[in-house]
Amino acid sequence: MKEVTAQRTAGTLISSPDITPEELQLAVRNHSMPLEALRYDITPLGLHYLLIHFDIPPVSASDFSLTIGGHVSKPLVLSLDDIKARAATTLAVTLECAGNGRARLSPRPMSQPWLGEAVGNAEWTGTPLAPLLEEAGVRSGAVDVVFTGLDRGIQRGVDQWYERSLSLADASRPEVLLAYAINGAPLPPQHGYPLRVIVPGWYGMTHVKWLRSITVTDTAFDGYQQVTAYHYRTVQGEAGEPVTRMNPRALMVPPGVPEFMSRTRFVEKGVHSVQGRAWSGKGSIVKVEFSDDGGKLWSAAALEASASPYSWRRWTFDWDATKDGEYELCARATDDAGNVQPSDTKWNLEGVENNAVQRVAVVVGAPNQQQAPADGD
């Protein structure tokens, strides 16, 4: 693919360098959520984003068991039926990949090249983890709870099972679930069949899929995905800040109709009800603002209630497109902890935690309006 230079009317541009075959390989395995799917309160299965580091592991439900061990007095081995027989909770949870927005950085960190749509809001059903930890009898001096998947691979030369940890306090929070269903159906292979952990409010890497063991440790867990990856670092070798909870973000359903290649939107003059969703893992969303001039002037959007404290909130804004011409629509979220989306990307080595405002290129009054279908928004 040729390098492209930024053009106002091309919504999804990457400045430099060219996308590599390796990034394309990852991009076609792991898809984002089409922005028009922001219309659904609960993201339909198949439209939810997907991130798989290595391979989807082969799993047989009958052979499957989860072990809870390590620094506990009574290790547990549970079948899927044992887990399903326990108290069940269903919770709407917004999941977003920590690398969302990575491909907008320049130079672009080499990994899954997300533009800005690595998100989904699903209804997860499972059993709370805290009572299981209690049953296993966590011993004094426990530090971390390690979640290990059935998938193995090599990343930056390190042969590993995919695993991540939480502090004992974070793992014991009541909203942390061992989930076996999504949107009322068993987990499909790509979302972690038969079992995964759901840690509401945290970036995606925390929600370990194909979960096979939970290990309580008495020293800090130092696995690759915990201490090497998922840190905000601007200089190679610095300690950096671990990536934890999601920064606030608002996204809109781009109004009108897209031009096939650039995805520039075409709308007619008049009022367009623009809608979208906003979420934060660091607080509750208290404000969403809308701009049609690239973020110079902002107006408050209307906010609706969310399905759960961990689910995105719908917002709407009646945009009055009074004049023909080119516009850059933006949305910006603020949470009650005072976090606001920045207007520009913040470069870091892994391209994580990038929550710069969304920018949608729109043309009002297409030259060939006669043939253009009516605006759907």
Ligand X SMILES: Nc1nc2c(c(=O)[nH]1)N[C@H]1C(S)=C(S)[C@@H](COP(=O)(O)O)O[C@H]1N2
**By CB under 5 A, is residue 51 in contact with Mo ion?**
yes
Q: Which two tokens stand for residue 265?
A: 């939107």
Closest CB 120 distance from ligand X, rounded Å: 6
CB of 265 to ligand X, least distance (A): 26
Which residue number places its CB atom closest to ligand X? 204
3-class DSSP string for the chain: CCCCCCCCCCCCCCCCCCCCHHHHHHHHHCCCCCHHHHHCCCCCCCCCCCCCCCCCCCCCCCCCEEEEEECECCCEEEEHHHHHCCCCEEEEEEEECCCCCHHHCCCCCCCCCCCCCCEEEEEEEEEEHHHHHHHHCECCCCCEEEEEEEEEEEECCEEEEEEEEEEHHHHCCCCCEEEEEECCEECCHHHCCCCEEECCCECHHHCCCCEEEEEEECCCCCCHHHHHCCEECCCCCCCCEECCECCCEEEECCCCEECCCCCCEEECCEEEEEEEEEECCCCCEEEEEEECECCCCCEECEECCCCCCCCCEEEEEEEEECCCEEEEEEEEEEECCCCECCCCCCCCCCCCCCCCCEEEEEEECCCCHHHCCCCCC
Which residue number places its CB atom closest to Mo ion? 97
Phi, psi of 224 (to 5 degrees): -55, -50
Q: Is 204 in the site for Mo ion (CB under 5 A)?
A: yes
Our finding on whether 360 is near Mo ion (CB under 5 A) is no
Q: In whole angstroms, how close is the CB of 202 to ligand X at the nearest point?
A: 10
| Residue 198: CB minimum distance to ligand X, A | 10
CA angle 283, 289, 291 (to 5 degrees): 150
Does residue 14 touch Mo ion according to CB under 5 A?
Answer: no
Using CB distances below 5 to 8 A depending on partner kind, what does residue 307 bind out of ligand X, Mo ion, none?
none
281 vs 248: CA distance, rounded Å: 7
Q: Which is nearer to Mo ion, 118 or 178 (CB)?
A: 118
Q: Before 188, cis peptide (omega within 30)? A: no
Nearer residue to ligand X within complex by CB, 115 or 364: 115
Q: Interface with ligand X by CB under 6 A: which residues?
A: 48-53, 95, 97, 120, 149, 151, 162, 191, 204-205, 207-210
> Which CB sits closer to ligand X, 160 or 306?
160
Cβ 240 to ligand X, closest distance in Å? 17
Nearer to ligand X, 210 or 319 (CB): 210
Total of residues contacting Mo ion (CB under 5 A):
4
366 binds, among Mo ion, ligand X, none (CB under 5 to 8 A by kind): none
Partner that binds at residue 26, options Mo ion, ligand X, none, CB closer than 5 to 8 Å by kind = none
Stretch that binds Mo ion, among 27-35, 133-141, 201-209, 223-231 (CB under 5 A): 201-209
| Residue of 332, 331, 323, 327 whose CA lies nearest to 274 | 331
CB of residue 10 to ligand X, shortest distance in Å: 27
The residue (of 49 and 279) whose beta carbon lies closer to ligand X is: 49
Residue 191 near which of Mo ion, ligand X, none (CB within 5-8 Å, type-dependent): ligand X
Q: Which is nearer to ligand X, 198 or 364 (CB)?
A: 198
Choose the contact partner of 50 out of ligand X, Mo ion, none; CB within 5 to 8 A by kind: ligand X
Block residue for tokens 């928004």: 377
243 binds Mo ion (CB under 5 A): no
Shortest spacing between CB 52 and Mo ion, in angstroms: 10
Residues 95-114 that bind Mo ion (CB under 5 A): 97
Smallest separation (angstroms) from ligand X to the CB of 115:
15
Least Å distance, CB 373 to ligand X, is 32
Residues near Mo ion (CB under 5 A): 51, 97, 204-205
